[in-house]
Amino acid sequence: MSKGSKKSDKLNNYRKKIDELDRRLIETLAERHKTVQGLFANKLEEAKNIRDKNREKELMGRIRELAVEAGVDPYFAEKLFQDIINQSVRYQTYSLVDHQNENGGVRKVKVSFQGVKGAFSNQAALRHFSERYDEVECIGFKTFEQAAEAVEKEQVDFAILPIENTTAGSINDTYDLLAKKSLHIVGEEVIHIEHCLMAPGRIKLENIRRILSHPQAIAQCSRFLADLPRCRVESYHDTAMAAQKVKEDNDLSQAAIASAYAAELYGLKILQKDIANQPENFTRFVVVSREPVSVDAQISCKTSLVIATPHEKGALIKCLKVLDEFGINMTKLESRPRPRKPWQYQFFLDVEGNINDPNVEKGLKELEGKTVYMKILGSYPKQSGNSN
- Tens digit of pLDDT for each residue in 114-172? 999 999 999 999 999 998 888 999 999 999 999 999 999 999 999 999 999 988 888 99
- Find out whether 141 and 110 touch, Cβ atoms under 8 Å: no
Q: How far apart are the C-alpha atoms of 78 and 291, rounded to whole Å?
A: 39
Domain boundary among 240, 272, 304: 272
CATH code of the domain in which 317 resides: 3.30.70.260
pLDDT band at 104 (very low <50, low <70, confident <90, very high): low
- Looking at the fold, whether 7 and 93 belong to one and the same domain comes out as yes
Q: Where is pLDDT greater, at 345 or 151?
A: 151
d(CA 86, CA 215): 32
More confident residue, 220 or 167: 220
The CATH number for 16's domain is 1.20.59.10
Looking at the domain assignment, is residue 386 inside a domain? no
Q: How many domains does the chain have?
A: 4
CA distance 378 to 287: 10
Show which residues are catalytic: 283, 285
Q: Give the residue numbers spanning the domain of 77.
A: 3-100
For residues 189 and 202, state if they share a domain. no
Helix (H, G, I), strand (E, B) or coil at 322: helix
> Is the confidence at residue 340, as pLDDT, over 80?
no
- Confidence class for position 385, pLDDT limits 50, 70, 90: very low
Model pLDDT, residue 3: 65
- Of 288, 312, 341, the residue that ends a domain is 288
| 138 bridge partner residues | 111
Q: What is the per-residue burial (b if ≥16 Cβ within 10 Å, else e) of 311-346?
A: eeeebbebbbebbeebebeeeeebeeebeeeeeeeb
Amino acid at site 193:
I
Contact 125, 111 (CB under 8 A): yes
Mean pLDDT of 199-215: 95
CATH of the domain at 262: 3.40.190.10
CB-CB contact of 36 with 89 (8 Å): no
CA dihedral sign, ordered 237, 191, 287, 321: negative
324 vs 46, 315, 317, 378, CA distance in Å?
Answer: 34, 15, 10, 20
298 CB burial (10 A radius; 0-12, 13-18, 19+):
middle
Which pLDDT does position 107 carry in this prediction?
Answer: 85
Whether residue 361 is predicted with pLDDT greater than 80 in this model: the reply is yes
95 lies in the same domain as 163 = no
Neighbouring residues of 196: CB distance < 8 A, sequence distance ≥ 6? 257, 258, 259, 260, 263, 270, 271, 272, 273, 274, 275
**Per-residue pLDDT at 146:** 97
